[in-house]
Amino acid sequence: LSVFHLPTTHTSNHQRILSTLLDNLLHITFRPSPITTASALSSAHHYRPLFASPFNPQKMPTHLSKTRKHRGHVSAGNGRVGKHRKHPGGRGLAGGQHHHRTNMDKYHPGYFGKVGMRHFHLTRNSSYRPVVNLDKLWTLVPAEQRKGLTSSSTEVPVIDTLAAGYGKVLGKGRLPALPCIVKARWVSSLAEKKIKEAGGVVKLVA
């Protein structure tokens, strides 16, 4: 700040001007340049927030919302008569063979029509057979029971697959070299072979 040499006359007037100048210097507000503002706006338009949810209440910035385009247009593109009410394309999957045919043909081919033969009096219960593989078989044995087991143990665990909700034992995976008794309604030939190789026994139950 340069030093002002005030003349002796009209001192009070000059002092008032000087005090005003000093006040203005002390209360300067720095405004960002137009370039800085423009870059900030452009970066804001690239902002993509996460979807709002009860666990993440973060919401979309208003200026990015598509509804901003419809401001000033009364019905927001939905028409003055219908006003975005009712079901313009029909309820649910209506019109799959009519006005929605192109969509069904393109994205859901084979949706309509029949194939194969009818099975009269189909009973699915008789063919209900949940499977378990060998690599999951030992998970049916409690951890405390597994702890002290060795290949020379006299007491061996009994794995009842039927009680655990499985119908058939399949042969995928490996078994530990520990003896066990596997009770099952159905056992594949590969599973039976692997169980016997590990020192176990297969027992079929009804």
Question: How, if at all, do strands 158-160 and 181-184 pair?
Answer: parallel
- The 10s digit of each residue's pLDDT in 49-85 is 555 566 666 777 888 899 999 999 999 999 999 999 9
Sketch out the chain's domains with CATH numbers.
Answer: 128-204 (3.100.10.10)
- Alpha-carbon span 173 to 134, nearest angstrom: 6
- Alpha-carbon span 2 to 135, nearest angstrom: 89
What is residue 56's predicted lDDT score, i.e. its pLDDT? 64
Q: Mind spelling out the 3-state secondary structure of the chain?
A: CCCCCCCCCCHHHHHHHHHHHHHHHHCCCCCCCHHHHHHHHHHHCCCCCCCCCCCCCCCCCHHHCHHHHHCCCCCCCCCCCCCCCCCCCCCCCCCCCCCCHHHHHHHCCCCCCCCCCCCCCCCHHHHCCCEEEHHHHHHHCCHHHHHCCCCCCCCCCEEECCCCCCCEEECCCCCCCCCCEEEECEECHHHHHHHHHCCCEEEECC
Structure pTM? 0.47
Written as six digits, the tokens of 62 are 């208003």
What is residue 27's predicted lDDT score, i.e. its pLDDT? 60
- Alpha-carbon span 49 to 64, nearest angstrom: 10
Which segments in the chain show pLDDT lower than 50? 1-4, 6, 30, 35-38, 40-45
What is residue 44's predicted lDDT score, i.e. its pLDDT? 47
